[in-house]
Each structure stands twice: as structure tokens, then as C-alpha cells.
Amino acid sequence: MTQPVDSSPAPTPSDDVRRVVIAEDEALIRMDLAEMLGEEGYDVVGQAGDGQRAIELARELRPDLVILDVKMPVLDGIAAAEAIAAERIAPVVILTAFSQRDLVARARDAGAMAYLVKPFQRGDLVPAIEMAVSRYAEITVLEQEVSDLQESLATRKSVDRAKGVLQEQLGLSEPDAFRWIQKTAMDLRLSMKQVADGVVEHGVAGLGARQGLGDTSV
């Protein structure tokens, strides 16, 4: 049920190509997904048919992303996601059938950054992957700023709320909203949580007035 990694020499991918490990116990679905990812410009460096093998490949290959099906033998996708997230190896996207949507909350709690409901279209794949990578990068930045786990969780919640405010008031995308908070914190020499709390409490204009911030653009 596991497809071995091809060890034959291959051209080195460019730095901007994301390396992906996929785990899906149905071989045809796994092959279709690998083909789809390749056509979208991703480099599928490893494939597995169970969650345990997916963890092993993630540890060995250190990919930029891991895509896991929920229902797999040996170890399911949620347990595998939890292990991969705990070791800070890579962001995880979970594949789930429509009837398994109740598992999405469990997957999120396990550390998954995004999910796709099967059957999904090609147009759903890239946005989910890029969202997962973006959220993972944000969490990495926040954890570097805050070492204490509880404080880190509180900061993430504050930043998520502030991103929503910025998206509504400034029309920013989610990644741009995060960069706005990060840049503003650096400019004002405040923590990202302080900036996020200020945005939530006072809005963008209110924060600017309180801090003497002239330009609120990204």
C-alpha cells in the first residue's frame, strides 16, 4: 500500500517549488493527486498509504507540505497530523470526505492548517495548500516572538481576530493582514499581540490615532 520514494538521480528543483509528501490509502486517488500536484507545479517527493509511513517520510524528507487523508490504516490522518505538527516538520492539509466534516475540528486541533473535502476540484487544491503554508509561516513567526505556550495561544487568537478586522476595514487578504500587524508591531516597537488587541479594540483608525501612526497601508 506504500509507494517507495524514487531514489534515482533527478534534477534539483528550484527553491520556489514546494516539496510535498502525500498519504492516501487508495492508490488511484493517490496517483491522481500526485499527478494534479505535479501539473500545478509542486514536487511530490514522497507517497504513502498509511499514516505511520507518512510520518516517517515527513521526518526523512522534511517537505514543505504534507497532505493526509483522514481514514488510513495503521495510523489515521489526524493522528499523523498531530505527530507532524508536534515536531514542527511542515504544515498539514487534511483530506476528508463530505460525510466526515465533523472531523474537521479534530483535525484543526491536531495541527492541520487547512482541509479539502473530497471530491475536490483542481481549483480547490492550490488555495488550500497556499493557505496552509501561509498559516504555518504565521504560527512560526508568533512562536518565535512568544516562547510561553499559553501566551502563544493567546497571541494567535488575538492576531486571528485582528486579521478579520483588517480584512473588513482595509480589504486586505489574510496574509497581507498578518504582514500589516507584523510591520506595525516593528514600526511601533510593540508586540504583535499589543497591536492585534489595539486593532480589535479601537479599529485601524483608532489604533493609528492612539499610537501616532500616520500611514495604515501595507
Segment 80-100, tens digit of pLDDT: 999 999 899 999 999 988 666
Structure confidence at residue 24 (pLDDT): 95
Structure confidence at residue 10 (pLDDT): 39
String of DSSP letters for 29-40: HHHHHHHHHHHT
Structure confidence at residue 189 (pLDDT): 87
Mean pLDDT (the chain) is 83
Structure confidence at residue 118 (pLDDT): 84
Residue 198, pLDDT > 50, answer: yes
pLDDT in tens, 154-165: 888 888 889 999
Task: Give the helix ranges, DSSP H, for the chain.
Answer: 27-39, 51-61, 77-86, 104-110, 122-145, 149-170, 174-188, 192-211
Structure confidence at residue 99 (pLDDT): 64
pLDDT in tens, 3-58: 444 433 333 444 578 999 999 999 999 999 999 999 999 999 999 999 999 999 99
Most confident of 63-72, 109-118, 132-141: 63-72
* 72 burial via Cβ count (<10 Å: 0-12, 13-18, 19+): buried
Q: How many beta carbons lie within 10 A of that of residue 177, not counting itself? A: 25
Provide CB contacts within 8 A for 40, sequence distance 6+: 122, 125, 126
Percent of the chain with pLDDT over 90: 42
22 and 33 Cβ atoms separated by less than 8 Å: yes
